[in-house]
Amino acid sequence: MFKNVCCIGAGFVGGPTMAVFADKCPNLNITVVDLNHERINLWNSENLDRLPIFEPGLKDLIKRTRGKNLFFSTEIIEPIKSADMIFISVNTPIKSSGIGAGEASDLRWVESSARTIAKFSQGHTIVIEKSTLPVRTAKVIKEILHSNQNTSENKNKLKSFSILSNPEFLAEGTALDDLENPDRVLIGGEDEESINQLKDLYLNWVPNEKIITSNLWSSELSKLTANAFLAQRISSINSITAVCEATGGDIREVSKAVGLDSRIGNKFLNSGPGFGGSCFKKDILNLVYLCKFFNLPEVANYWDQVVKINKWQKDRIYKKIVEKLFGNLSDKRIAILGFAFKANTNDTRESPAIEISKDLLNEGAKLVFYDPKVSKNQIIKDLSKTIEMITQKNKDEFLFFADNVYDAVKDVDAIVLITEWEEFKNLDWIKISNLMIPPSWVFDTRDVVDPSRISGSSVNLWKLGNADFN
Ligand code: NAD
Ligand code: UGA
């Protein structure tokens, strides 16, 4: 029975996933390693409010496991040496230059992880792809691991590897529940014994029938396909928001009617400002690249359209805001409520707030931000390129930050609701309307404003996908 587990990458996946493994498998000794010292320090901070990611329930889980059988470290070599099983959970963004730029995955972090494992591992090691990867990456990892066995340094050491694909399906904001009660666990591989060893770990808390196995390539492809299908649903419903606005429909009613068909189901039919998050766009673009590589242009174009509609939706919202504010935003103040890509996370990667804010800044607007979990520094970082580009002036003239909604909306001409935080659902709209500059507008992109609560105020309401509020 093996005991030592190492996870390379202490990010949104590595941290919570290993914390759940530690909690459910008390006999394991798990070390999560990362090159990023700041991140590891935050994972190790005494004050649990300083953990590097916000995820409901995470503080309690870390309190239960950290220092017992879960450790976070920047020391990579020793945990790899002693590991029986190593999860690779590093970032796999889109390449920004060179062949495949803008579509293909940048595998430099996966490759360097594989090289480090090849160099330092000892005995038999099960290497598990946890990151989302292009199909056939397992072959690359295998080649790196095996080629290293023949180097002069390693020749006399007995090393062997088996490679598994075990993609992660958690969503941020619900990560712990997704990990504790997964719809399924997928293990792809060629070596039955290793598959069973990983399966045995999951069996500590996941029912047997939910653990499915496949070959490596099906497993890698299933992850890309699942994300592509989820993103496709959002682009599909978002495309219909514009049709609702044009024809007199209400997207909420349409979503409900469509979702009640048990073949379609009611999940993932909430319209919004477009999907964000670090994965949907990159994983679809990766699928598109794969299709082009295998000379399947029709399939590539089909999936590419999901990404195009997503961009179009953000664009459409920004143009609507400009139109309603008389085509002129210069010197207008606009409150941006919510900056995270969805509620219950502090992650802003690919958040629709970034693109919409940039477009509004380009029109000359001054923006006041409030998000309950995203820091001022993160927002400045996300917008920094645009700020340099459009103003050349001090950012303090264009970007403002508030600690609560009511401070944020003071003297603004408009409010744009971008993230569906719970606290935005019960706002005092009479109080807010008295703080704003008339004629004031609220642009609700997430269906968080109850029109009956705003009707007594002087605020104009625009609701995405609702012809009555357009
Ligand atoms: P992340 O950027 O939050 O974390 C990755 C971490 O890996 C970083 O802290 C980085 O410093 C570290 N790292 C990179 N190379 C390293 C190396 N050689 N040695 C040690 N540390 C190294 O990324 P994430 O959101 O956790 O995503 C990780 C993978 O999981 C991606 O492939 C992603 O597509 C996939 N995924 C993400 C989610 C999600 O919700 N974020 C869900 C499912 C799958
Ligand atoms: C998504 C998938 O849901 C996970 O299964 C997957 O593991 C993960 O990507 C990944 O591979 O990274 P995540 O991006 O964390 O998880 O969050 P989602 O809940 O999927 O939301 C993604 C985006 O879609 C958010 O911007 C969200 O606001 C938007 N969304 C979601 C909608 O606009 N409408 C919906 O009905 C659902």
pLDDT tens, position by position, 433-448: 999 999 999 999 999 9
CA distance 140 to 138: 5
Helix, strand, coil % (nearest 5) of the chain? 45, 15, 40
Coil, strand, or helix at residue 407?
A: helix
Close Cβ partners of 125 (under 8 Å, ≥ 6 residues apart): 83, 84, 85, 86, 117, 159, 160, 161
Q: What is the pLDDT of residue 395?
A: 83
> Is the Cβ–Cβ distance between 284 and 227 less than 8 Å?
yes
Ligand 1 mean position, distance from CA 34 (Å): 10
Task: Report the residue among 279, 282, 355, 417 best suited for mutation to probe ligand 2: largest number of ligand atoms under 8 A from its CB.
Answer: 279
* 40-60 residues labelled b (16+ CB within 10 A) or e (exposed): bebbbeeeeeebbbbbeebee
- Take residue 28 and report the two structure tokens written for it: 């394991």
Residues with catalytic annotation? 279
Radius of gyration of the chain (CA): 24
> Sign of the CA dihedral 168, 174, 179, 181?
negative
Q: What is the pLDDT of residue 315?
A: 98
CA distance 73 to 70: 10
- Take residue 243 and report the two structure tokens written for it: 């049709």
Chain position carrying tokens 């290793």: 194
Ligand 1 mean position, distance from CA 110 (Å): 10
Task: Calculate mean pLDDT across residues 273-294.
Answer: 97
Average pLDDT, the chain: 95
Question: How sure is the predictor about 389, in pLDDT bands with cuts at 50, 70 and 90?
Answer: low
- Picking from 250, 252, 126, 104, the residue whose alpha carbon sits closest to that of residue 195 is 126
Q: Which ligand is nearest to the CA of 11?
A: 1
Question: How sure is the predictor about 96, in pLDDT bands with cuts at 50, 70 and 90?
Answer: very high
- Picking from 338, 352, 337, the residue whose alpha carbon sits closest to that of residue 272 is 352
Q: What is the pLDDT of residue 2?
A: 65
CA distance 233 to 268: 7
Atom of ligand 2 at shortest distance to CA of 342?
28
Bond from prior residue into 26 cis (ω within 30 degrees of 0): no
CA angle, 279 as apex, 119 and 35 as ends, to 5°? 35
> Is the Cβ–Cβ distance between 357 and 392 less than 8 Å?
no
pLDDT at 134 over 70: yes
Q: Which ligand is nearest to the CA of 306?
A: 2
Ligand 1 mean position, distance from CA 80 (Å): 17
CA distance 310 to 235: 6
- Picking from 73, 77, 64, 68, the residue whose alpha carbon sits closest to that of residue 28 is 68
